[in-house]
Amino acid sequence: MYLTTLNLFTFRNYRRQELTFHPRINIFSGLNAQGKTNLLEAVYFLTVSRSFRTNQESDLPSFGSDSFSLKGALQKKGERSGIELYYRVSRALRIVLNGKTVPRSEYIYRHPVVIFTPDDLLLIKEGPARRRRFLDTEGSRLKPLYLRRLRDYSRVLRQRNRVLKERRSGRIVDYSPMEPWDEALVKLGGIIVRERIKLLEALQTQARPHYGALSGGGESLSLHYRPTIKYGDDPAFIEQSFQEQLREGYRTELRTGSTMTGPHLDDFAVTINGVDARKFASQGQQRSVVLSLKIGEVELFKKTGEETILLLDDIFSEFDEKRSAHLLQFLSEREGQSFITTASPQWAGGGRRLRRARAFSVHGGKIRID
Ligand code: ATP
Ligand code: MG
């Protein structure tokens, strides 16, 4: 799948811009604050219907405007589809796919698009919420059923927490009103945990060789699921243990008014040669871990027969020569489409020499082909 055209109307610092892309590599170079990341954001928003930098969609129209639109065409296995997105402040986003309006819940995660930004380093350094979001986003992209289970789980969790809060004031210890919620939560939670473990294993298999190459060999990457449900090493016991822990935690949960065990609180750990990356990895190692995970995602999609659109924001400024060379080789050998931004003239020059690539210059919210 690749994007052939993109038109932006009053999106960020673009008033009006029409672009035609190369099916393989597209390089955008320019000084700081010219609109490079904004362009990647537009590509991501068009294909995913979300921004990777903000949940506040009212930030996206150009200053002084209260609306924006993005239009583009995707080419997938010989078929072209037209996408139009219309946004106006305090109205719902309208998504038109091949002339038909579709709800966002159906559109989101429909296209495999993977982004790497310097912010993604927080995936290693920050708390578990960001890592869960990573697993859930990728799980949802790979498997629409995962997204549905996740939504069901969140709904049951909210209802269970409401019951806990309602009972907080009284001194009711009878457990029976919790049972129907527990049953649903345990069933959905079991599915989610098992899916996440499978996803991490698959991701580890794909990411390892890339981490090895990026690190120059001698370092081994591992991913470990860190559940709040104590089921030992045997996922067959997830449901039973989850159920028991919910019951055991009941009195505490009545005090806090929230469910304190389950996949909504789980995490995963990354280790390099057995050592926790969150605590001990150097900056360069953290970058390589995140990049390997992202390339791992791309490889996972490829196994399902789909080529991912890969967005790389300012990545070469973060890597030494050896790592950059590995990345460039990967990009020029892959079948899928890539969008790369750089503020460095050296990388822009290197990019122009690549085969099957188109180079663009970004200046003050205007883009032209070099
Ligand atoms: P860098 O190399 O520093 O990362 P960049 O080219 O990626 O720079 P962008 O993040 O794309 O820069 O932002 C370019 C400019 O867009 C910024 O100066 C910012 O103030 C401006 N900008 C952001 N949002 C809007 C908006 N809604 N309307 C108009 N301009 C905006
Ligand atoms: Mg930028």
pLDDT in tens, 24-46: 999 999 999 999 999 999 999 99
Assign 277 a pLDDT band (cuts: 50, 70, 90): very high
Domain annotation for the chain: domains and CATH numbers: 1-112+307-370 (3.40.50.300), 127-305 (1.20.1050.90)
Q: How remote is the CA of residue 305 from the centroid of ligand 1, in Å?
A: 35
Is residue 145 pLDDT above 80, yes or no? yes
Average of per-residue pLDDT across 240-255: 94
Neighbour order of strands in the sheet with 221-226:
221-226, 267-272, 275-276
Give the span between the Cα atoms of 347 and 368, in whole angstroms: 18
> For the whole model, what pTM was predicted?
0.92
Q: How remote is the CA of residue 365 from the centroid of ligand 2, in Å?
A: 12
For residue 216, give the amino acid letter: G
Q: Mean pLDDT across the chain, nearest whole number?
A: 93
Average of per-residue pLDDT across 260-265: 98
Q: How remote is the CA of residue 192 from the centroid of ligand 2, in Å?
A: 35
Assign 247 a pLDDT band (cuts: 50, 70, 90): very high
Q: Angle at which helices 179-214 and 283-303 pack, to 10 degrees?
A: 110
pLDDT at 353: 73
The percent of residues above 90 in pLDDT, for the chain, comes to 80
Is residue 289 pLDDT above 70, yes or no? yes
Task: Give the residue whose CA is nearest to atom 24 of ligand 1.
Answer: 12
pLDDT at 171: 65
**Which of 140-144, 313-317, 329-333, 353-357 shows the lowest mean pLDDT across its residues?**
353-357
Q: Residue 85: beta bridge partners?
A: 70, 95
DSSP track, 203-249: HHHHHHHHHHHHTTSS--EEEEEE-SS--TT-GGGHHHHHHHHHHHT
Q: Tokens 């091949």 correspond to what residue?
A: 98
Is residue 158 pLDDT above 70, yes or no? yes
Assign 109 a pLDDT band (cuts: 50, 70, 90): confident
Nearest bound ligand to CA 12? 1
Q: Characterize the bridge pairing of strands 267-272 and 221-226.
A: antiparallel
Nearest bound ligand to CA 29? 1
Q: How many CB atoms lie within 10 A of CB 70?
A: 22
CB 57 within 8 A of CB 51: yes
Burial class (CB in 10 A: 0-12, 13-18, 19+), 56: exposed
Alpha-carbon distances, residue 215 vs 5, 24, 121, 282 (angstroms): 36, 26, 16, 12
pLDDT digits (tens, 9 = 90+) for 163-207: 999 887 666 678 888 999 999 999 999 999 999 999 999 999 999
CB 1 within 8 A of CB 309: yes
Assign 278 a pLDDT band (cuts: 50, 70, 90): very high
Which residues contact ligand 1 via a Cβ below 6 A? 12-13, 30, 32-38, 59, 62-63, 314, 343, 362
**DSSP category for residue 35:** S
The alpha carbon dihedral of 286, 292, 293, 294 has a sign of positive
pLDDT at 15: 98
Average of per-residue pLDDT across 307-335: 88
* The ligand 1 atom nearest the CA atom of 31: 2
Assign 346 a pLDDT band (cuts: 50, 70, 90): confident
Give the span between the Cα atoms of 251 and 239, in whole angstroms: 20
Burial class (CB in 10 A: 0-12, 13-18, 19+), 37: buried
Phi and psi angles of residue 33, each rounded to the nearest 5 degrees, phi first: 60, 35
pLDDT at 187: 97
Q: How remote is the CA of residue 202 from the centroid of ligand 1, in Å?
A: 36
pLDDT digits (tens, 9 = 90+) for 200-228: 999 999 999 999 998 888 899 999 999 99
Task: Give the residue whose CA is nearest to atom 28 of ligand 1.
Answer: 62
CB 178 within 8 A of CB 156: no
pLDDT at 151: 96
Residue 70: closest CA among 38, 51, 45? 45
Burial class (CB in 10 A: 0-12, 13-18, 19+), 280: exposed
Average of per-residue pLDDT across 146-174: 89
